[in-house]
Structure 1
Amino acid sequence: MFRSLLIWATVIAAVTVPLIAAARNPLLAWRDPVYIVAGFAGVLSMGLLLLQPLLAGRDLPGLLPLASRRWHRRVGITLIIALVVHVGGLWITSPPDVVDALLLVSPTPFSAWGVVAMWAAFAAACLGIFRQRLALRYRIWRLGHTGLAAITIVGSVVHAMLIEGTMETMTKTALCVLVLLASVRTLARLRVWDIRRRS
């Protein structure tokens, strides 16, 4: 019981504390409301990225496997919405910068990492939504879905660490480390790269 409470408390703190710290960022006083919403959507996206491998690996206590799978889908959809709000808000505030980022010609390195992570997230979501129609073997599908998710995670972590914006440095670093640790743990446990066994 204590272990379960500790895990949930850690996860909740990891998601909420960066949001609280970002809300206290003095730089936000000089930003437009749309930019602030876009920034917080990005912070929320990082928190959702922590939940995804934990749900996929069934590491959250109290959730049955079926419930973990359903919440993995719901969080994935929420993540896509948050990314759209993040990029859409930045588009409204500065269209030329977003165009440069999407075309991978932006002079800021963090932009390219963010764009790659975004497209990988969209592709992973499409694989999840159209899994039945694609008629792929489960292990092949899981390898593709997880590979795209890994690109999303690595790209998002690098993007967040390079940019100096809404997020506070210490909480951002802690969240990024937790996202990476949770992802590596899930990948090691699920062994998604092993496609030799029959589905």
Structure 2
Amino acid sequence: MAAAAMSPQLEWRGPIYILAGFAGMIALGLVLVQPLLIGGYLAPLTAYRGRRVHHWIGGALALAIVIHVAGLWITSPPDMIDALTFASPTPFSPFGVIAMWAIFAVALLAVLRGRLGLRLRTWRIVHIPLAVVIVVGSVVHAMLIEGTMETVTKAALCVLVLGATVKLMADLWMRRRRGTLRGESIARQ
């Protein structure tokens, strides 16, 4: 954020555009926090508190995306129409739009989960693939943008986002595998 705040490209931008850009950067930072919370990698939080904070951060992430898109819409409606209709000539747009819709889908399902009667297993079957789409789409979107984010810090943040997500996915897979193996060994006895 500090490197982006010192970018010379900000001199020609208005406050709404700058707010929109920083909302996108904050969103990418929040994407990093999500797998750390669910994986229990943030030491002082219990698993329950980690899940609760994960829910609140998810809401903040959706809000940051709304601010990002609304700010860009205000500053350039034709560009946003092109992006949202997948007609934009910029290579980063479709990745951002796909990640945005995946974030909104997860947020909507999280809000309606109780009303829909989604069990934890069903929730995970839906949420995990959408989370992967969010991570990959967000990282590719950010890396393809040549803007105010400084290249090295942007790449480092993206590597951290990918690394945290891969670590969580591997840990979840190992937990499931161990649980299955334990269940199979008990069934055989």
Q: What is residue 85 of structure 2 aligned with on the other side?
A: 103
Residue 75 of structure 2 aligns with an amino acid whose one-letter code is T
Hey, which bits of structure 1, 4+ residues long, moved more than 3 A? Answer: none
Residue 94 of structure 2 aligns with an amino acid whose one-letter code is A
Per-residue deviation, 1:62: 0.4
- Percent identity between matched residues is 58
CA RMSD of aligned residues (A): 1.8
SS at match of 1:191: helix
Q: How do 1:1-199 residues align onto structure 2 when only pairs under 5 Å count?
A: 19-191=1-173
Give CA deviations for 1:161-186 in whole Å, capped at 9, x if unaligned.
Answer: 00111211000000000000100111
Q: Aligned partners of 2:131 and 2:105: how far apart in 1?
A: 9
SS at match of 1:104: coil
Residue 19 of structure 2 aligns with an amino acid whose one-letter code is V
SS at match of 1:109: coil
Contact 1:40 1:166 in 2 (8 A): no
Contact 1:41 1:83 in 2 (8 A): yes
Contact 1:128 1:145 in 2 (8 A): no
SS at match of 2:157: helix
Residue 189 of structure 1 aligns with an amino acid whose one-letter code is D
Q: Aligned partners of 2:159 and 2:120: how far apart in 1?
A: 30
Gaps of 5+ in 1: 1-18
Contact 2:59 2:107 in 1 (8 A): yes
Residue 45 of structure 1 aligns with an amino acid whose one-letter code is A
SS at match of 1:118: helix
Q: Aligned partners of 1:135 and 1:190: how far apart in 2?
A: 23
Per-residue deviation, 1:137: 3.0
Give CA deviations for 1:127-179 in whole Å, capped at 9, x if unaligned.
Answer: 21111122233212112111111101100000000011121100000000000
Contact 1:45 1:82 in 2 (8 A): yes
Residue 30 of structure 2 aligns with an amino acid whose one-letter code is L
Residue 86 of structure 1 aligns with an amino acid whose one-letter code is H
Per-residue deviation, 1:83: 0.3
Q: TM-score, normalised by structure 2?
A: 0.90
Contact 2:38 2:47 in 1 (8 A): no
Give CA deviations for 1:61-107 in whole Å, capped at 9, x if unaligned.
Answer: 10011110111011100001100000000000000000010001111
Paired residue total: 179
Q: Aligned partners of 1:36 and 1:123: how far apart in 2?
A: 26
